[in-house]
Structure 1
Amino acid sequence: MGPHDLVERVMLMGHAAAPLPCRLVAAAYRDEQEAADKVTRLGTGVDACLFASPVPYESARRSGVLTMPATYVQLGGAALVAALARAALDERIDPRRVSIDVLNRAEIEETYSDLNLPFTDVQSRDEPGAAGTIAAYHERLVRQGSTSGALTCLPSVAERLQSAGVPAIRIRPTSAAVRTALHTAALLGAHHRLEESQLTVVLVEVPTLREPVRRTAPRYWRDELRLSLHRLLVQEANRINASVTAVDDHSYMITATRGSVATVTEGFRVLPFAARVRDELGLAVEVGVGMGRTAHDAEAHARAALARSQAGKQAQGFAVDREGRALIPAPRTPPQGAGQLKPKGIEVLARLAAKLEGGDTVVDAESAGKMLGVTPRTARRLLRTLVDEGLAWPLPPNRTPQPGRPRQLYRLIVEKLGAR
């Protein structure tokens, strides 16, 4: 990514300059400030970015568009020596009295010292800025007689100075510097590609299914809940080309890559799959994500992350990298419809929770009516309201040999009260 002449030069050097098989994508611009827009246009189509100089690199970095590794061609050292040699051949320019942009002062003084040239009258500016601002800096020094000319790393600045009649020499990268930069960029891209394809295991546990079976609950409601959850996880896994395996009655394992999991977790900032499971099934899940060099290591790290998230109520990392380190603190998953739950539903749920015995959260219209002091018909309507507000989960009807309407059971999601 750079001016047209440099991009053409790099493309002509081709793959012979890169240490690994790679595809070079040309992204030429007229002004360094276009770098951020070029990066945005490339998107995920590249694994690494190589910039012509530190200026477009810093411009793209400050814009926050760099989501992949990036580097730039070094313009100090041999490139500065070559520019000084060309300046010495220009009768208008004295290399001992010039202004230089982009390069830091220490690098300039080191090069002058190596050439045994004095640098006390050499002016330098390494602060970023627009092409017009930097061109004005060079022109002002020349007009004041402080310098005899300018050495610039920016083609747009060189064009402005030449149009204004100011002696200017462009610092061009050497072929060796370009080859070194291509080598670095290719290695960065390969490492990024390997990291994105790193094996990742996601463990999902459902506390509700982990609880012991209660006699009041129908025998098959757990099976139906497991099937619904498994189907949902398979749908989510298909979106990221992952696979789902049931580990036991209350947990599942999703095998994916780091890149695919990072996509559905916003860079490991939110729990994967938890929001949809909560919204569609009314279930809270515990999640641990682990990475590793082998499937065994990835699963071990996922279990460690899961144990960390189960350890307490403090927000803790839910993802562990292949070295066993937590990536970032896991934010608390916001409750469904936080701030939008109707007071009536919360009040009914709280009244029922206060009357529950032995931790049993499964009720029907008759038992709920007794707890609330209302008729079964009214209780049935209130329970449906809880379902609509995501505060209860309807279970399959409990069919019995007796004639009449089968009992409709509901599991109360009392966890929502704690979230409030």
Structure 2
Amino acid sequence: MLMGHAAAPVPCRLVAAAYRDEQEAADKVVRLGPGVDACLFASPVPYELAKRSGVLTVPATHVQLGGPALTAALARAALDERIDPRRISLDVLSRADVEEAYADLGLPASGVLTREEPGATGTVAAYHERMLRQGTTTGALTCLPAVADRLTTAGVPTVRVRPTSAAVRTALHTAALLGAHHRLEESQLTVVLVEVPTLREPVRRAAPRYWRDELRLSLHRLLVQEANRMHAVVWAIDDHSYLVTATRGSMAGATDGFRVLPFAARIRDELGLSVEVGVGMGRTTHDAEAHARAALARTQAGKQAQGFAVDREGRTLVPAPRMPPQLPGQGRPKGTEVLARLAAKLDGGDTIVDAESAGRMLGVTPRTARRLLRTLVDEGLAWPLPPNRTPQPGRPRQLYRLIVEKLGPR
């Protein structure tokens, strides 16, 4: 198996990953990791095994063993007096490849037995040997070196199907092109727009600006930390939205192939905020931002994370799953009702609460109160304040400012 690491079709660097058995192909791919741009397998068997295991994260191809390679193997079999090419067993290659080759040679293929399904060396070798012992075939053609060795030791007339030089050159060229395209695609410019509904919504009365400033500062700090891990850049657009510039490769890694909203989970867990996200790609910053805004508009219109990523051609990528709700949907009280109950029991007009104090006011456990407070945050009825870090172990105390202004005149 050869792994290509190429920035262009030529030149490229090849990394050999040898194995004793094709079953090891998937493990070799995992060990090489993301340091390669394309995978080239020596035959269809390791390629299929790696593909089925789900470890391939880069483009991959394999050396073709049908066509000229099969024809050359049949020619070698015809030179062996023990083998009748019209009565043989053959593994790996498809029935279509076999019939095409025999049609080109003007030979009937009705007496040729094929086993396309890959398997362990012993299983495939036993198949060929059984067909010979039963008198159904006169010999075996195999694409697997280990099977060829075992059959030869067992006295089975065997010819190994080997790739031709032309097939190897073609496969190398294809792998280099796949790697180059992958590299260009991975470096494609990507823009992420992050909007915070809680900061976007105005309040009815003038509220202390300190709370919003603290929230923006915490959010900006978190986005910068996440962007640094992705080698990205982040800056604030206005009071409630941010722009992150990255590459497609780094963004795909951070979003599980654009299936998970970037940054959203950590923002929700640490700051108690829900965010709206749009991801766009393009050949220029302007195009990427335009696609990101289109994706963000779709997200906001549907109130779901559907079609949140748009590629450079304007097509929607794999939609992200819906963000999990903060509370079980059944029997959940409305946010305004919870806020009104808390506001009625506020002492001296202080609008800062935590889970313990809110629980006492509502007559529920701190755990339930914490969920209710997160509901208020989701509905824009409370602002989570930066956690109160203390030297004591355990979860830091999370404070919330209730936006009682949204209740209107009381």
In which range does the TM-score fall when normalised by the shorter chain? Answer: 0.7 to 0.9
Higher relative contact order (CA 8 A, sep 6+): 2
3-state DSSP class of the match of 1:100? strand
Aligned positions of 1:29-48 closer than 5 A:
29-48=19-38
* CA distance in structure 2 between the partners assigned to 1:347 and 1:216 by the alignment: 27
Taking only the aligned residue pairs, the percentage that are identical comes to: 73
Classify 1:211/1:248 alpha carbon distance in 2 versus 1 (closer, same or farther; 3 Å).
same
Note the C-alpha offset of 1:349.
Answer: 6.4
Deviations 1:108-139 (A, max 9, x none): 12212222233332222222222222211211
**1:261-315 CA-partner distances (Å, limit 9, x unpaired):** 1222122122111122222222221111111121111101100110001003355
- 1:353 is matched with 339
Answer yes or no: is 1:75 the counterpart of 2:61: no
**Unpaired runs of at least 5, structure 2:** 352-356, 375-381, 387-398, 405-410
Shift of 1:166: 0.3
Q: Is 1:217 equivalent to 2:207 in the alignment?
A: yes
| Corresponding position of 2:316 | 326
Change over 3 Å in CA distance of 1:83–1:148 after alignment to 2: same
- Which residue in the other structure is 2:377 paired with? none
- Residue ranges of structure 1 left out of the alignment (5+ in a row): 2-6, 370-374, 397-407, 414-420
Q: How does 1:81-96 map to 2 (within 5 A)?
A: 81-96=71-86
Secondary structure at 1:120 match in 2: coil
How many residue pairs match? The answer is: 378
Instruction: Give the one of 224, 233, 238 matched to 1:248.
Output: 238
**Amino acid in structure 2 at the alignment position of 1:181:** A
- 1:155-304 correspondence to structure 2 within 5 Å: 155-304=145-294
Question: Structure 1, residues 364-384: CA drift from partner, whole Å, max 9, x if none?
Answer: 643479xxxxx99x7699999
TM-score scaled by length of structure 1: 0.80
Residue of structure 1 aligned with 2:89, choices 82, 89, 99: 99
Is the 1:245–1:252 contact (alpha carbons within 8 Å) kept by the matching residues of 2?
yes
Residue type of the partner of 1:254?
V
What is aligned with 1:400? Answer: none
Alignment of 1:50-61 (within 5 A): 50-61=40-51
CA distance in 1, matches of 2:341, 2:17: 68
Residue 107 to residue 388, structure 1, CA distance change in 2 (3 Å): closer
CA pair 383-235 structure 1, distance change in 2 beyond 3 A: farther
For 1:78, give the aligned amino acid.
Answer: P
- In the superposition, the TM-score normalised over structure 2's length comes to 0.82
Cα pair 1:364 1:409 within 8 Å, conserved: no
Alignment check: 8 A CA contact 2:271 2:384 kept? no
Query: Does the 8 Å CA contact 1:79/1:174 hold for their aligned counterparts?
Result: yes
What residue in structure 2 maps to residue 144 of structure 1? 134
Amino acid at match of 2:110: T
Give the direction of change, closer, same or farther, for the CA distance of 1:386–1:125 in structure 2 (3 Å limit): closer
- Given that 1:112 and 1:119 are in contact with CA atoms closer than 8 Å, whether structure 2 keeps it comes out as yes
Residue type matched to 1:182 in 2? Answer: L
CA-to-aligned-CA distance 1:184-217 (integer Å, 9 cap, x gap)? 1111111111111111100011112212244351
The alpha-carbon deviation at position 89 of structure 1 amounts to: 2.0
Aligned-residue RMSD, C-alpha: 3.5
Q: Residue 225 of structure 1: CA displacement? A: 2.1
Structure 2 distance, partners of 1:70, 1:155, is: 21
* C-alpha distance in structure 1 between counterparts of 2:197 and 2:365, whole Å: 23
